[in-house]
Amino acid sequence: MKKMTNKLPENFFWGNSTSSMQTEGAWNVGGKGKSVYDVRPATENSSDWHDAIDEYHRYNEDFDLMAKQGMNCYRFQISWSRVNPTGDGDFNEEGIEFYNELIDALLAKNITPMICLYHFDMPLNLAEKYNGFLSRHVVDAFVRYSTEMVKRFGDRVKYWITFNEQNLYSMSEAFRIAGYLKGDETDDELYQISHHVMLAHAGVANYIHENTDCQIGGMLAYSEVYPASPNPKGILYARQINEFLNRNLLDVFVYGRYSNEVLTFVKNHHINMDYQPDDDKVLIKVTSDFIAFSYYRSDTISSEMVPEGTIPNYYLDKGVKKNPFLETSEFGWQIDPLGFRDILTKVYNEYGVPMFPIENGIGVREEFDGSEIEDDYRIKYHRDHIQAMEDAIFEDGVEVLGYLGWGLIDIPSSSGNMDKRYGTVYVNRTNHDLKDMKRVPKKSYWWLKHVIKTNGGDLADLK
């Protein structure tokens, strides 16, 4: 293990990230309206979304575990339909009070709250009536909801993001996560959703910067993408993926404008992205106080596997190839700490905005038999990625605000699969049996506690 001679800042953030539908449960409690997740049934390999890990009733227990581990930051999500049941009408004061109490509980334990305003759980009413973010009405509804949350909580919550992994709205995932229930999933609709989501982000970011002392940044799901060979076409495809899925949004987050290459592509291919004349007035004012991103893996693209005529937004749907130089998790994700360093460094080099990795982790099947879970694989994953981050900071000069793991207390995965566990704390439930939901620290819990205590200074195994 490399000996560190540099030290991270004393105010460096160490913490946990989650979403509301993967933690809260209480889907029909406290005046909450239905979201699109609340009507999704359980399947053979997934749970429904009614209970999650019951953090609605047990958040103090989970915050105690975070505080005992030394965490000083928790990025959580407000459920839009909990505070605004139809997504459009009156606000629900009981739901707002829940988050008031949750925020105060975090602050009492010296844990800095960070709020995400949307993590794919569109209020069902807006999805059914307007087809989600395909409609500009939903853009306005989101800005109304979000600015109300800033007014309610901005006195205590100083770090905000609008959309979890916003570049997913530029990919085929857009139709699943934007409240889109009906349509043909055309290229026009993809670009309209992506643009509308950016307008929604802009409305909130501009409000925060014009009216508060809070900070806000854009967030991407950033996967390093390599060409599968020296084939120049593959190198072109890898660059285009980064341009269309990442830099196009980063250009707005930092410079207030879309990528010239992407706008030229839209014009040349006659794509109708619903770009209205006044949209420039909103976008040009956008700035970011930090760039947030999730990082789990890298991908490798083979241009030979991509059908001719495929737009760059869909290359990864067609041409991903296994990288022989990397380990692969049991869920098929390739583990690549060096890619993490490269993203931190290249984005900071180009945009000069502080970087904030707010999701990182590995999902693994685990069972609790009464003894401590020996998750050395998770310790290795986080150690290697924290080391890569420190290399970016100390060797490459990147300004990094903190390191937040994903779901460090077990939660259902994004597909609802409780078998895919990311946590340093085990939650005793399965996909179809809630059991007692007892929280049990794993070996990695104590390792990460030591890492945080040393502020990243000692990443070695505990003796």
Contact 85, 31 (CB under 8 A): yes
189 is annotated as an active-site residue:
no
330 is annotated as an active-site residue:
no
As a whole number of angstroms, the distance between CA 141 and CA 144 comes to 5
Which of 163, 112, 55, 113 lies closest to 409 in space, CA to CA? 55
Give the model confidence (pLDDT) of 362-381 as tens digits: 999 999 999 999 999 999 99
In 3-state terms the chain splits into helix, strand, coil percentages (rounded to 5) of: 40, 15, 45
3 has a pLDDT exceeding 80: no
- pLDDT at residue 145, as a whole number: 98
Angle 333-337-339 (CA atoms, 0-180°, nearest 5)?
85
Residue 92 Ramachandran class (φ > 0 left, ψ -120 to 50 alpha, else beta): beta
- Of the pLDDT bands very low, low, confident and very high (cuts 50, 70, 90), residue 5 is low
DSSP 244: I
Select which of 165, 224, 243, 390 is catalytic: 165
Three-state DSSP class for residue 370: coil
Half-sphere exposure (CA, 13 Å, Cβ side) for 255?
Answer: 12
As a whole number of angstroms, the distance between CA 53 and CA 26 comes to 10
User: Residue 384's CB: how many other CB atoms inside 10 A?
Assistant: 16
Give the model confidence (pLDDT) of 406-433 as tens digits: 999 999 999 999 999 999 999 999 999 9
Mean pLDDT, residues 5-16 taken together: 94
Select which of 24, 224, 359, 390 is catalytic: 359
- pLDDT at residue 236, as a whole number: 98
The domains found in the chain, sorted by start residue, are 13-207+291-297+332-454 (3.20.20.80)
Give the model confidence (pLDDT) of 185-219 as tens digits: 999 999 999 999 999 999 999 999 999 999 999 99
Give the model confidence (pLDDT) of 270-302 as tens digits: 999 999 999 999 999 999 999 999 999 999 999
Which ranges constitute the DSSP H helices of 159-256?
Answer: 174-177, 187-211, 232-242, 248-255
- Of the pLDDT bands very low, low, confident and very high (cuts 50, 70, 90), residue 461 is confident
348 has a pLDDT exceeding 80: yes
Three-state DSSP class for residue 161: strand
Half-sphere exposure (CA, 13 Å, Cβ side) for 46?
Answer: 15
- pLDDT at residue 462, as a whole number: 72
